Amino acid sequence: NVGAECEFYLFENDDRGRPTRVPIDFGGYFDVAPLDAGENLRIYQNAGQIAAELNDVERTTRWLTEYVKRVREENPAVDLSRAELWLQLGNAALTKRDFTAAARYYRELQAGPFAVQARLREAVALSDGGKTEEALQTLRTARTNLKLDAPVLFSAEASLLMEKGRAPEALEVMNAALEAHPTDPEILYEAAMLAQETGDSALSEKRLQTLLSMNPEHVQANNALGYLWVEQNRNLTEARALLEKAYRADPLNPYILDSMGWLCYREGRLRAAREFVSASLKKLYDAEVAAHLVIILQKSGDQKAAEATFAELLEHDPEHPTVARLRELLGKKP
């Protein structure tokens, strides 16, 4: 269980020849072994990587930067642009909230299987450090250099724009993504969710239907379109078919459980609705799901449970947009 609090042992014979468990002091190893490395630079790298696995930020940074320094001193032309160690160094810097250093480390990783991870994390580091425009440009440039990973980079750019309250730009990005990748299922799904988030449920519905015509088994799309219809209280028969398909594929998914519960509420099956939505909340607390449960409990006549669920919602998210409506439903004063 790497990274958890644990102890490591060697077995050595005691003075009577019996095997004895001896704790390994990795801290001592990290500090002493590299000093004895001599010309074997790999020891610096190994020490840094083990430190990274054990979440030892200081030693990760110390030994991996020492490795890079010595390798480059030995051969200034060495190419480390594919080395995973840049991710480890960047992650260590992020842990310390040194966003500038994190972005600098991630930027070193420019090729190979970890390149797209590095670009995504570089953008996160830049954004968290207050450099939003640089983060966006990093993702845009990466789309040109990493063409096979363009869909995930489009999605990351749109998500960042939404996070910064720039919804019109996010829509433009996803429209460009759809134009470049019209048959990519994840782009279609992300574009549909973005349309829903920005209030265009008709466009969201159209995109989800297009996606399901291409891939009828897409679990998230089945759930999203089914929930959209349930929320609008229409096409409930078709919504049940979609949601049951999603539920069969992923019966423990809290969002699908909530969708099933809300469908049962629309159908007047209050007991089943309560069971599904309660199961969803047990797996993952979500204010919207809690609001559903308040409504279901109140409709079922269990005012006490409804008020208790509402009180818990207020503790988690007092600014949730449903609060005023639920307060009125329960007959409570502001």
End-to-end CA distance of the chain: 49
How would residue 40 be classed by pLDDT, with cut points 50, 70 and 90?
Answer: confident
Distance of alpha carbon 260 from alpha carbon 53, whole angstroms: 40
pLDDT digits 0-9 by tens, 124-180 = 999 999 999 999 999 999 999 999 999 999 999 999 999 999 999 999 999 999 999
CB 259 within 8 A of CB 243: yes
Q: For residue 176, which of 196, 194, 200 has the smallest C-alpha distance?
A: 194
Q: Residue 149 carries which side chain, given as an amino acid letter?
A: D
pLDDT at 22 over 50: no
| Lowest-confidence region among 47-61, 225-239, 279-293 | 47-61
Distance of alpha carbon 186 from alpha carbon 156, whole angstroms: 12
Q: How many CB atoms within 10 Å of residue 137?
A: 14
Q: Does the reported pTM lie above 0.75?
A: yes
- Paired with 210 in beta bridges are none
Looking from the CA of 254 toward its CB, the CA atoms found within 13 Å total 13
Residue 24 vs residue 74, higher pLDDT: 74
CA distances from 238 to 208, 217, 299 (A): 14, 15, 25
Distance of alpha carbon 164 from alpha carbon 206, whole angstroms: 26
pLDDT digits 0-9 by tens, 315-327 = 999 999 999 999 9
Q: Residue 126 carries which side chain, given as an amino acid letter?
A: L
Looking from the CA of 210 toward its CB, the CA atoms found within 13 Å total 18
How would residue 334 be classed by pLDDT, with cut points 50, 70 and 90?
Answer: low
How would residue 9 be classed by pLDDT, with cut points 50, 70 and 90?
Answer: very low
Distance of alpha carbon 174 from alpha carbon 151, whole angstroms: 9
The vertex-73 CA angle with 39 and 84, nearest 5°, equals 85
Distance of alpha carbon 255 from alpha carbon 251, whole angstroms: 10
CB 91 within 8 A of CB 110: no
Per-residue H/E/C for the chain: CCCCCCCCEEEEECCCCCEEEEECCHHHHHHHCHHHCCCCCHHHHHHHHHHHHCCCHHHHHHHHHHHHHHHHHHCCCCCCCCCCHHHHHHHHHHHCCCHHHHHHHHHHCCCCCCHHHHHHHHHHHHHHCCCHHHHHHHHHHHHHHCHHHHHHHHHHHHHHHHHCCCHHHHHHHHHHHHHHCCCCHHHHHHHHHHHHHCCCHHHHHHHHHHHHHHCCCCHHHHHHHHHHHHHCCCCHHHHHHHHHHHHHHCCCCHHHHHHHHHHHHHHCCHHHHHHHHHHHHHHCCCHHHHHHHHHHHHHHCCHHHHHHHHHHHHHHCCCCCCHHHHHHHCCCCC
pLDDT at 98 over 50: yes
pLDDT averaged over every residue in the chain: 90
